[in-house]
């Protein structure tokens, strides 16, 4: 009998909403999700993390303090999982922690995720694996997206051409053609602009189920201007983040000349069309598309994807047996296992690195 192997995956992404923590068991090749915890960011921390996406005063100290606060949240979530399940911390091989990206500049040779993994190891009493992106960037890669290798292991099919689309703040896809190589890249905005506009005009953190966007009309001229963004035409490997798609980017367009719900509908169509265009161009003959991440709850966005990709079955990863809310957290548990086992987890065809690399830095318990 194969011994049980437990890992915790910790994820906080570009949506800046909070910490996802997943307890995962690897008793077989397929990961089993045992339990989950979600902790929302306190409002001051969220505001600081958003502010740190752009240059500002006293950045070094502010980033270090925010990293410490993140480590405390990561530790709280991890220990809550142990309390809920009764599993001893000594049974956890490692916590795989993505950290919070505050700058992603592979073009300049660096990427920065804060979260103080050393403090997390001290507070949790568990081994921590973090800093997954830097080694790939050092090898000439984008350092992102990180999850295609996991998507291939979890969702690949021998006879079906699938695409997995993670829609967080930024959307990324993984192309899984049968009997062929894995590719993937960031397609552009997922929820980031939709959430920004909803906060400005609804006073809500997001447009629940896309209901507000559904009441608006797409402004074709505005959509065309946005789709002219050079990133969309850039060939992979490529990755992006809030460094590009942010309030300043949105303000470059005449968004205040239209009804607010029309802008929301246009931003939803921007996300849908940029994803669909990437699938049509780079994932030809794909028959199935499965969405994970927060965007899986945006029913309007899913319907827009179906309209733009009539040749594909569009569903969420729930249809494959994995809750779409927890795919990324499970992925970081898997990535931590790859690190401890000395197995590469990067995909050079995805990131453009010189070769596959073992990712992550290890902070023992």
> Which three-class secondary structure string do you get for the chain?
CCCCCEEEEEECCCCCCEEEEEEEECCCCCCEEEEEEEEECCHHHHHHHHHCCCCCCCHHHHHHHHHHHHHHHHHHHHHHHHHHHCCCHHHEEEEEECCEEEEEEHHHCEEEEECCHHHHHHHHCCCEEECCCHHHHHCCCCCCCCCHHHHHHHHCCCCCCEEEEEECCEEEEEEECCCCCCEEEEEEECCHHHHHHHHHHCCCCCCHHHHHHHCCCCCHHHHHHHHCCHHHHCCCCCCCCCCCCCHHHHHCCCHHHCCHHHHHHHHHHHHHHHHHHHHHHHCCCCCEEEEECHHHHCHHHHHHHHHHCCCCEEEEHHHHCCCHHHHHHHHHHHHHHHHHCCCCCCCHHHHCCCCCCCCCEEECC
Which CATH number does the domain 148-322 belong to among 3.30.565.10, 3.30.420.40, 3.40.50.2000, 1.25.40.10?
Answer: 3.30.420.40
pLDDT at 1: 39
**Fold adopted by 6-141+325-363:** Nucleotidyltransferase; domain 5 (3.30.420)
Mean pLDDT by 10 residues, the chain (365 residues): 80 92 89 96 96 94 98 98 97 97 94 98 98 98 95 94 97 94 96 97 96 98 98 97 94 97 98 98 96 97 98 97 97 98 96 97 97
CATH 3.30.420.40 domain range(s) in the chain:
6-141+325-363, 148-322
Question: Given this model, what pLDDT does residue 13 score?
Answer: 87
């Amino acid at each position: 009998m194969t011994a049980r192997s437990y890992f915790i995956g910790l994820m906080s992404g570009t949506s800046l909403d909070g910490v996802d923590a997943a307890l995962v068991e690897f008793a077989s090749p397929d990961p089993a999700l045992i339990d989950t915890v979600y902790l929302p960011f306190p409002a001051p921390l969220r505001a600081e993390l958003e502010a740190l996406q752009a240059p500002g005063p006293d950045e070094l100290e502010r980033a270090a303090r925010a990293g410490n606060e993140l480590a405390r949240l990561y530790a709280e979530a991890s220990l809550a999982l142990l309390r809920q399940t009764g599993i001893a911390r000594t049974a956890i091989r490692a916590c795989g922690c993505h950290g919070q990206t505050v700058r992603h500049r592979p073009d300049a040779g660096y990427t920065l995720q804060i979260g103080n993994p050393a403090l997390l190891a001290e507070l949790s009493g568990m081994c921590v694996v973090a800093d997954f992106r830097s080694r790939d960037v050092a090898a000439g890669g984008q350092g992102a997206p990180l999850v295609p290798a996991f998507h291939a292991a979890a969702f690949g099919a021998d006879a079906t051409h699938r695409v997995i689309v993670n829609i967080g703040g930024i959307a990324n896809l993984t192309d899984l053609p049968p009997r062929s190589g894995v590719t993937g890249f960031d397609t552009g905005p997922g929820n980031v602009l939709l959430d920004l506009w909803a906060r400005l005009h609804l006073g809500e953190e997001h447009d629940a189920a896309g209901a507000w966007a559904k009441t608006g009309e797409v402004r074709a001229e505005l959509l065309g201007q946005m789709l002219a963004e050079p990133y969309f035409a850039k060939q992979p490997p490529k990755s992006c983040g809030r460094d590009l798609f942010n309030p300043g980017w949105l303000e470059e367009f005449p968004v205040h000349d239209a009804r607010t719900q029309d802008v929301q509908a246009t931003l939803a169509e921007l996300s849908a069309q940029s994803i669909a265009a990437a699938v049509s161009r780079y994932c030809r003959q794909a028959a199935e598309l499965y969405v994970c991440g927060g965007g899986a709850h945006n029913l309007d966005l899913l319907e827009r994807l179906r309209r733009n990709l009539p040749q594909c079955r569009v569903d969420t990863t729930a249809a494959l047996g994995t809750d779409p809310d927890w795919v990324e957290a499970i992925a970081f548990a898997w990535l931590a296992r790859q690190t401890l086992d000395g197995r590469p987890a990067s995909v050079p065809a995805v990131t453009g690195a010189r070769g596959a690399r073992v990712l992550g830095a290890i902070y023992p318990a």
